[in-house]
Amino acid sequence: MFAYVVKRLISGVLVLTLVSMGIFLLFWFGPSSPAQPICDRETSNRCTQEKLAVYEKTLGYNNPVYEEYGKFVKGVFVGRTLTIASNEYPCAAPCLGVSFRTKQPVKEELVSRIPATFSVAIGGAFLYLLFGIPIGVAAARRRGTVADKALVSSFLFISSIPYYLFALLTWLYLTITFEVPLFSDTGYFAITEYGPFKWFSGLFLAWVALGIFGCTQYTRFTRGAMVEALSEDYIRTAKAKGLPSRTIVYRHGLRAALVPVVTIFGIDFGTLLAGTIFTERIFEIQGIGWWSLEAVQGRDLPVVMATALFSAVVLIISNLLVDVIYSVLDPRVRLS
């Protein structure tokens, strides 16, 4: 187990290196200079070639790409001082750069947005499992009945709607049209500043949209896995021994059926932690997803790199945890 985890961590470091190099090269060799956005912003869209050359020199974009990438990697471990035009900005380790838009250290902005995204992810993932798994088990136990067909058909209809449209309609009807008091003020409100009720009410509608839409696929996955598990020989043996139906379904069948569900959940939860762009944008939650969208639109290279690296770290850790949980849920699976 220990050797496997170490091997996966080493491969994760290689993935992070490739991700950072890829993002760096995409901006470096893009159709326009990486210094163009900040030059336009600082000069009120009156950036001349002479001013652009000054920004390129201070930001290091006239140096070889490997040299600047090396400075970036070095700054992650020991920190560095960044120069933009004639201004210097100290950046402590781990230094992910300074935002071209706000002139603030990217690390500080990233840390300040993690609680909002983490709150959305926890609530949405909880509702995924709370509704998806029990309904999927119930549908599998009633396979072929009218209730099973109604559940599968209705969830298939919901999942066929694009998520951004589903979330937008949820926000529009419950907040604007019907003016439900609990949903009137969406967004992230820090629990330490506004209290638990304000925090809960601001995120509840986002959780509902994520939960309803996400539980549809978990219902289908759980139902399919349960139907397959309940048809195995060991289930028939358990029935022949006279074990109670609930024991057969939940202790033997569900445990085996959860293995593929855990795989999908690990990836989905990692994606949620990396930033739910549509959810945060529609429900006005200032999280990592909204932040990354603004960075891409403004070509804010340090922020884009930071969000990409954060997403890669979260997905790597999620996949590693899924592999470890595998061996717990299914004794037939062994890590090697």
Q: Say how far apart CA 226 and CA 255 lie, in whole Å.
A: 9
Query: Residue 62 belongs to what domain range?
Result: 32-95
Exposed / middle / buried, residue 119 (Cβ in 10 Å: 0-12, 13-18, 19+): buried
User: Are 126 and 42 found together in one domain?
Assistant: no
For the cut 70, the answer to whether the pLDDT of residue 119 exceeds it is yes
User: Are 67 and 215 found together in one domain?
Assistant: no
Q: φ, ψ for residue 98 (rounded to 5)?
A: -120, 130
Q: Which pLDDT score is estimated for 49? A: 86
Q: Which pLDDT score is estimated for 291? A: 92
User: Are 265 and 317 found together in one domain?
Assistant: yes
For the cut 70, the answer to whether the pLDDT of residue 334 exceeds it is no
For the cut 60, the answer to whether the pLDDT of residue 264 exceeds it is yes
37, 298 in Cβ contact below 8 A?
yes
Structure tokens at 209: 């949209």
Identify the band that residue 115 occupies on the pLDDT scale cut at 50, 70 and 90. Answer: very high
The 10s digit of each residue's pLDDT in 58-83 is 888 888 888 989 988 898 899 888 88
SS3 at position 80: strand
For the cut 80, the answer to whether the pLDDT of residue 32 exceeds it is no
The 10s digit of each residue's pLDDT in 267-300 is 888 888 876 888 999 999 999 999 998 888 888 8
Q: Compute the C-alpha angle 184/186/192, nearest 5°.
A: 115
Q: Say how far apart CA 63 and CA 58 lie, in whole Å.
A: 10
Identify the band that residue 101 occupies on the pLDDT scale cut at 50, 70 and 90. Answer: confident
User: Are 53 and 131 found together in one domain?
Assistant: no
Structure tokens at 66: 């490997």
- Say what the pTM is: 0.84
For residue 143, CA distances in Å to 10, 90, 214, 224, 231 come to 45, 63, 22, 10, 12
For the cut 60, the answer to whether the pLDDT of residue 336 exceeds it is no
Least confident of 76-80, 142-146, 156-160, 258-262: 258-262
Number of compact structural domains in the chain: 2
User: Taking residues 287-315, what's their average pLDDT?
Assistant: 88
User: Are 75 and 188 found together in one domain?
Assistant: no
The 10s digit of each residue's pLDDT in 203-225 is 999 999 999 998 888 998 899 99
- Helix (H) / strand (E) containing 156: helix 146-159
User: Taking residues 237-256, what's their average pLDDT?
Assistant: 85
Q: Which pLDDT score is estimated for 107? A: 92
> Residue 284 is which amino acid?
E
User: Are 86 and 136 found together in one domain?
Assistant: no
Domain for residue 105, yes or no? Answer: no
Q: Which pLDDT score is estimated for 57? A: 85
Q: Say how far apart CA 10 and CA 32 lie, in whole Å.
A: 35
Q: Say how far apart CA 183 and CA 185 lie, in whole Å.
A: 6
- Provide the sign of the torsion angle of the four alpha carbons 189, 196, 184, 210, taken in this order: positive
User: Are 250 and 315 found together in one domain?
Assistant: yes
% of residues, the chain, pLDDT over 70: 96
Q: Say how far apart CA 230 and CA 234 lie, in whole Å.
A: 9
User: Are 281 and 199 found together in one domain?
Assistant: yes
For the cut 80, the answer to whether the pLDDT of residue 335 exceeds it is no
Q: Which pLDDT score is estimated for 285? A: 92
Which among 244, 298, 290 is positioned nearest to 100, based on CA atoms?
298
**Domain containing 284 — which CATH number?**
1.10.3720.10
User: Are 155 and 217 found together in one domain?
Assistant: yes
Which among 249, 231, 327 is positioned nearest to 4, based on CA atoms?
327
Q: Which pLDDT score is estimated for 275? A: 66
